[in-house]
Amino acid sequence: MIRDITIGQYYPADSVIHRLDPRTKLFGTMIFLISLFLADSIWAYVLATAVLAAAIRISKVPFSFMVRGLKAIVILLLISVSFNLFLTDGETLVKLGFLRITKEGLYTAAFMAVRLIYLVLGSSLMTLTTTPNELTDGLEKGLGFLKRFGLPIHEVSMMMSIALRFIPILIEETDKIMKAQMARGADFESGNLIQKAKAMVPLLVPLFISAFRRATDLAMAMEARCYRGGEGRTKMKPLKYKSRDRISYLLFFLYIGIIIAMRVML
Amino acid sequence: MGIKAVNLNYIYGQGTAFEQYALKDVNFEIQDGEFIGLIGHTGSGKSTLIQHLNGLLKATSGEIYVNGENIYSPGYNMKALRSKVGLVFQYPEHQLFEVDVFSDVCFGPKNQGLPKEEIERRAREALSLVGLDESYYSQSPFELSGGQKRRVAIAGVLAMEPQVLILDEPTAGLDPRGRDEILDQIDRLHRERGMTIILVSHSMEDVAKYADRLLVMNHGEKLFDGPPKEVFKHYKELEQVGLAAPQITYIVQDLRSRGIDIDDNITTIAEAKEAILALLSGKEKT
Ligand SMILES: Nc1ncnc2c1ncn2[C@@H]1O[C@H](COP(=O)(O)OP(=O)(O)OP(=O)(O)O)[C@@H](O)[C@H]1O
Ligand SMILES: [Mg+2]
């Protein structure tokens, strides 16, 4: 049922990519995303494809898992491809009534599609190999310099990790309450829009109540363990770059260098 | 109403990285009017199993027959099944949502499409069965204590007047008096109306006292199936899977090991009392 949703789900495996420092992965993902927008030739895309394929291979995450994230953007993909395909001016290839496909349109549509797909694959690779906790740790440390400008980085990342932590809990809770109400004959599927909205009341009321209860419980438990923000707080597992991270950074710079060189020279 | 499960298998999260085998080849048949106690260690698959019996979970493989009809056959009326097989979840108080107790209990019968008077009659009856009088009717369910909420939630399922009533640890977290009241009430429904009951419990005493038959689950498999006295004879094996026999059985075993000739078939305090009194009066005569 509703449990089948997999947003940013972590895929446990033992690979070099899983063990990388989250900051390295964040940075690497960013570099990859930037490279997609810098790439403007076939060769640049060939390189990006090779890098992405190698990374997926090394991560040991099954390809079927990676593709799952793409389902969410199918519609976006269709819209952007058809816009580019039909609305770009240039040399006409095919004409269907008032629609016409141009050579330039075909190019941009293809590039656009590849870009979007790689964007999703690249970022899913990061979320699939990094636990939400590592991710927020990485963000907190990586953006730590912003504290100097008075930004509450620790608090924001704590809120983020709590929010992430609560997603599966709330999904589970929704599933439970839904089943309990279905056992009492509730029907969440049939009926028109208004009936459907009404049918949600027996689900939403208990869900909100339990979310608030959990929130107060958690706040209480954190205070009972003397949580008082980031000031002077130390980590059990402080993030530390290892040699594999240094090598990765080197590779990232090499990769983006080549992409830029291709853009300038080709 | 007979329920029959054939080679039931269930896997949580099939096709993801978190596959979890929760039921393995479970087979059983429950006759009309039985009182079944379902026991097993934490995580043994009890809650998973009972959610199959009213079609909330669909088995990964295997069949379920209710009154001889396969509930997985196309076009089977699941909604009708759910009003015949009532299921009270673990911690059912989390499902309350209405503005007052009475309307919350009315939710089930209302979904059954009954006329208004019938809905209210059932709600009144169900509330009195769980021991809540009229002073509670207009209270908000969220302002009640945990035990009172539990009663409201149980009434919510009773009001649907199911033929089979399944309860998942209905007494967890209740005080001793509340436990006894609720279990006695369930027992009365069983005896007076012939309702089929499936009671999930972690209390060996409770199942020994009320159930005619026990199903014991272990890691998703059915380990034992039989009358409590038969099952509790295997108390050594039960201990190995994180269960036990009722306390009183241990006392009786202890007495026997000290050479006192007492029946080793005893599983409830009432039986033990009688046996011991019989022994004592036998002694006085000699
Ligand atoms: N929604 C779920 N998703 C994934 N796995 C689950 C889910 N619910 C239960 N499980 C797993 O299935 C197994 C059986 O769980 P189940 O809830 O049926 O146990 P139980 O016998 O009811 O335990 P308890 O006595 O603690 O209530 C457990 O190993 C549990 O981890
Ligand atoms: Mg359970």
Residue A27 near residue A141 (C-beta atoms within 8 A): no
User: Which residue intervals of chain B are DSSP H helices?
Assistant: 46-53, 78-84, 101-111, 116-129, 146-158, 176-193, 204-210, 228-232, 235-240, 247-257, 269-285
Tokens of B163: 């033929």
Q: What is the mean pLDDT of residues A197-216?
A: 91
CA B132/CA B149 separation, integer angstroms? 10
- What's the whole-number mean pLDDT along residues A188-200? 84
What rounded mean pLDDT belongs to chain A? Answer: 86
Tokens of A211: 């979310």
Q: Is the pLDDT of residue A25 over 90?
A: yes
Mutate to test the pocket of ligand 1, among B16, B21, B46, B199 (most ligand atoms within 8 A of CB): B46
Q: What is the pLDDT of residue B284?
A: 66
B33 has pLDDT over 80: yes
Query: Of B51, B56, B111, which is closest to A185 when you measure between CB atoms?
Result: B111
At B75 the pLDDT is 87
Per-residue pLDDT, A3? 45
Mean pLDDT of B66-77: 90
Whether residues A185 and B157 touch (CB distance < 8 A) is answered with no
B259-264 average pLDDT score: 84
pLDDT of A180 above 60: yes
Task: Check: CB of residue B252 under 8 Å from CB of residue B266.
Answer: yes
What is the per-residue pLDDT for B94? Answer: 85
The secondary structure of A9-22 as a DSSP string is -------HHHHS-H
Q: Quick one: pLDDT at residue B285?
A: 59
Nearest atom (ligand 1) to Cα of B18: 4
Using a CB-CB cut-off of 8 Å, the residues of chain A touching B16 are 6, 9
Task: Please state the pTM of the whole predicted model.
Answer: 0.78
> Minimum-distance ligand to the CA of B38?
1
Distance CA A140, CA A239 (A): 10
| Chain B residues close to A200, C-beta within 8 Å | none
The CA–CA distances, whole Å, from A38 to A26, A109, A111, A256 equal 18, 16, 12, 9
Angle between helices A42-59 and A243-265 (to 10 degrees): 160
| CB proximity A213 to B under 8 Å | no
What is the per-residue pLDDT across A81-103, written as a single tens digit (0 to 9) for each? 888 888 877 777 777 777 788 88
**Is residue B112 within 8 Å of B91, Cβ to Cβ?**
no
Give the number of residues written for chain A: 266
Specify the amino acid at residue B19. E
Looking at residues A235-261, what average pLDDT do you find?
A: 92
Say whether pLDDT at B15 is over 80. no
Rg (CA), chain B: 21
pLDDT at B219 over 80: yes
ipTM: 0.85
Rounded Cα–Cα distance for residues B223 and B210 (Å) = 20
Average pLDDT, integer, range B153-174: 91
Strand partners, B199: B37, B167
pLDDT single digits (tens) A214-233: 999 999 999 999 888 877 78
Rounded mean pLDDT of A157-168? 83
Q: Identify the pLDDT of residue A118.
A: 92
Q: Which 8-state DSSP code applies to residue B144?
A: S
Q: What is the mean pLDDT of chain B?
A: 90
Residue B282 has which token pair?
């036998």
The CATH class, in words, for B3-245 is alpha beta
Boundaries of every domain in chain B? 3-245, 246-286
